[in-house]
Structure 1
Amino acid sequence: MTTVLVPRERRSGETRVAATPETVKRLIARGARVWIEAEAGRAAGFSDAAFEEAGAEVFASSDSLERWRQADAVLAVQAPLLCSEGGDGGLEALPAGSLVLGLLDPYRNQALIDQLELGRVSSLALELLPRISRAQAMDVLSSQANIAGYKAVLLAAAALDRFFPMLMTAAGTVQPAKVVVLGAGVAGLQAVATARRLGAVVRVSDVRPAAREQVESLGARFIEPPQLEEAPGEAGGYAREAGAVFQEAQRQILAKQLEDADVVICTAQVPGRPAPLLITEAMLAGMRPGSVVVDLAVAQGGNCAASRAEADAWVGGVRVIGAGNLAATVPQHASALYARNLAALLEVVLKEGAIHIDPEDPLLDPCLLTHGGACRRPDLRPARQEATA
């Protein structure tokens, strides 16, 4: 019987949990035994009693290290802390051949990769999941980005010095807020839909001309990207990184749009690369005092020059909100969706009560980060060598 361990998340600001009573029942039905650390789901509204009722065994944090030593699979939201980061030694105690699943931040977490190799622990990094039809039920990035895009608009609306919708009152008519969304991926489109529901006028910038149809279907206006030969386009369901000439041309277009904007929602990101800088300090200076920028890309460096992780900055009266983990501010629904994504992926390798990993499976191959004591992603090797040089 496979033992699945769900630890309490220990990284600062993380309120989500990697399993819910619903997914515990799913995994038990597939022949697994589930261990949940006490209070792992408290911040997300899931009690220890609810997990026990679903069939999980809840264990005390004081027994954590022994449980890690016996686990076959670990379900995590963010990468477990190493001892060097203040962790309790759980990751280092995992037995060889065990499996870790979660958002492992593989492009920036070289120490984790080293430990997984050293311990001969297999790992599935959900950021690397391929965007194929078979993976839709497991697409954690999309489920969490939906929440982030929604919450970003609510955050902006609460911080803005004016209403979002048009209001007709006895004292006169209030014009609707003007919102600019940078990036028409999952988070960006959800931001568009939410801002439109609140009554704002929305414009959207994206490097992919093909995004126009989706943007306009939501009632927003599409900002044409620069008409240059080096337009980045798309690869694997994500926008590719744009060159310096293209980005400068894009900033010139955006500068005019921002002069008239009340809110800017930044969502533009490129996997494994720093987020493109789309808003400079000079562009912020041209915005109306009282306007708001919410930067969801701040963990990758930010789309806005003034963005600071999980903090607010003020530039000439413009409020810039760095919001890198907004999904954790809606922990119950974020956990419910995340846990379903994770359970669907674990079910692929959980067969007859045991874990069987096929490295050649087109679903697993791209996201199987480590296996058999080696990192399987050659594109991460240069980053690792650079980090240890």
Structure 2
Amino acid sequence: MKIGILKETQKGEKRVSMSPNIAKQLIAKGFEIIVEEEAGTNSSYKNIDYVDVGVNVEKRGVVFKEAHILLKINPFDEEDLKLVDKGQVLISQLYHKSNPSLIQAIASKGATAFSLDAMPRISRAQDMDVLSSQNNLAGYKAVIRGAYEMTKIFPLMMTAAGTITPSKVLIYGVGVAGLQAIATAKRLGAVVEATDIRSETKEQAQSLGAKFISVDNEGEESEGGYAKEASEDYAKRQKEAVNKSLFQADLVITTANIPGRKAPVLITEEQVLQMKNGAVIIDLAAAQGGNCEVSKLDETILLNGVKVIGSTIAPESVSTNASELFAKNIYNFILHLTEDTNFKWDLEEEITDETLIVKDGDIRKK
């Protein structure tokens, strides 16, 4: 079976779906791999790095023509689909719930498609979960970006000229990104607080040294390991509980996303106007509409002395690590789906069932 690695074309994307190291491991399992030329350049992987491990480097058209499996990180676009043939297997993040026209276009090609963002949150799937691996890096990098944008340092520092008090960091959402943000901010010496609709995250936040801002969440349970959209009543109570910390924070990081839906607004424009001068908000949910009402993806908004930065962080600035982790997720996923380099098509198995969106032109999930 031949796996084709495509160069990412989405603006700002620097990752590649397969690193040379992981490609070598797949080749050892019996797969043949071809990669589009210069696909790994922005992740510091040269064409020769792939050639050295047995990967064939080809032009884009050749990859589409020869590969049985086509790999990308971002959704296949209109130009990609012009080159897709019947029977090919597409693997990427498709965001099928919010992108029905793409799914219909794939189906019309008679192709098969797996959506990596549909991976179930179960223990068996942890090593295939691209959202977790990428969010881990995003949480780390959000703190580093925040430190760069702030006009203060994080740690307590005692000097002959006086004592510098530690910065205050507030984190919305204690998932993978939020936990890594807590750990990173604490290592840098900040005072960290966190809040989440899922009460089960309290112990995790506290174990990393953060103070957890609790809000009674009866009836607000999570869905499949993900936070679900909060009720209007909960959102109001959370705002009241968090406001004091928000208005005193030097850095705020928001990480709340709901699969297939617009990100919930956790910080309104009115709240931003009450934050202290010089505060920074890093909104990691900007690609899904943003947790802050005023944020815009890939833009820095200055409002009443507060910087609001809408970003996804990981693909922008840590592409080497992000690509390696993504590739390892892909490696585990492909081995799960296949036996002796052939697809098993076990549609009763949960991971296969949840991620297989289109099968030979038939739409299975909407």
Q: What is the TM-score with the length of structure 1 in the denominator?
A: 0.91
Q: Greater CA deviation, 90-99 or 341-350?
A: 90-99
5 Å-filtered alignment, 1:36-55, equals 36-55=35-54
Letter in 1 for 2:17: A
* Aligned-residue offset at 1:81: 2.1
Q: Please, which of 202, 214, 217 is the counterpart of residue 224 of structure 1? A: 214
Query: Which letter maps to 1:321?
Result: I
Tell me what 1:338 maps to: 326
Aligned match for 1:193, one of 177, 183, 186:
183
- 2:221 is the alignment partner of 1:233: yes
| Residue 312 in structure 1 maps to residue 300 in structure 2 | yes
- Report matched runs for 1:35-184 at 5 Å: 35-60=34-59, 64-82=60-78, 87=79, 90-184=80-174
Identical columns (%)? 39
Amino acid of the residue matched to residue 67 of structure 1? V
Q: Which runs of 4+ in 1 moved over 3 A?
A: none
- 2:196 equivalent in structure 1: 206
> Which consecutive unaligned segments of at least 5 residues does structure 1 have?
381-389
Distance 1:49 1:326 in 2: 25
Q: Displacement, 1:67?
A: 3.0
**Shift in Å at residue 350 of structure 1?**
2.8
Question: Which residue of 349, 358, 376 corresponds with 2:364?
Answer: 376
1:70-92 CA-to-partner distances (Å, cap 9, x unmatched) read 3210111111221xxxx2xx423
Provide the rounded CA distance (Å) in 2 between the counterparts of 1:213 and 1:316. 35
Distance in 2, matches of 1:124 and 1:320, equals 35
Cα distance in structure 1, aligned partners of 2:4 and 2:100: 23
Separation of aligned partners in 2, 1:329 and 1:157: 15
Q: State the superposition RMSD in angstroms.
A: 1.3
Residues 229 and 353 (structure 1), Cα distance of their counterparts in 2 relative to 1, 3 Å cut: closer
Structure 2: 5+ residue runs without aligned partners? none
Q: CA deviation at 1:93?
A: 2.7
Q: Distance in 2 between matches of 1:119 and 1:291?
A: 49
Contact 1:145/1:327 (8 A) holds in 2: no
1:349-381 CA-to-partner distances (Å, cap 9, x unmatched) read: 23223333222221111111111312211xx3x
Partner Cα distance (2:346, 2:218) in 1:
41
Partners of 1:70 and 1:94 within 8 A in 2: no
- 1:374 and 1:353 map into 2 onto residues whose CA distance is 23
Size of the aligned set, in residue pairs, is 366
The CA deviation at 1:51 is 0.2
Residue of structure 2 equivalent to 1:357? 345
> Which residue in the other structure is 1:299 paired with?
287
- Measured after TM superposition, the shift of residue 158 of structure 1 is 0.5
**Partners of 2:236 and 2:175 in 1: CA distance:** 21
Aligned to 1:258: 246
Equivalent position amino acid for 1:57 in 2 = N
Give 3-state SS (helix, strand or coil) of 1:195's partner.
Answer: helix
